[in-house]
Amino acid sequence: MTKHKIIVLSIDSAKEFVRVASHCDFDIDIANSSSQSYTVDAKSILGVLGLDLGSPLIVSFSGCNDEFENFLQDCSHAA
């Protein structure tokens, strides 16, 4: 089952997001919620920084990792 979460990232939190995502053993995609036609691998710092960080982002993933999901929860409060 694919899970979706809306988050907001700053440049600093984007770096931490990629670090946390890189420890997951499942695929994670991230896209601007307004234009989901451009989706990037959440484990790519260049891809994530290429997104419009000024708007909400949608994260799609199908695995389970407590650290990652806690990070998403913290970022979703800002959304």
pLDDT score at 2: 84
Q: What angle do CA 10, 14, 15 make, to 5 degrees?
A: 125
Tens-digit pLDDT profile for residues 43-70:
999 999 999 998 999 999 999 999 999 9
> Confidence class of residue 73 from pLDDT cuts 50, 70 and 90?
very high
The share of the chain scoring above pLDDT 70, in percent, equals: 94
User: Total structural domains in the chain?
Assistant: 1
Domain housing 70: 3-76
pLDDT score at 67: 96
pLDDT score at 47: 96
CATH of the domain at 71: 3.30.1340.10
pLDDT score at 66: 95
Q: Is the separation of the CB atoms in 68 and 46 below 8 Å?
A: no
Q: In what order do the strands lie in the sheet with 57-61?
A: 3-7, 57-61, 28-32, 35-41
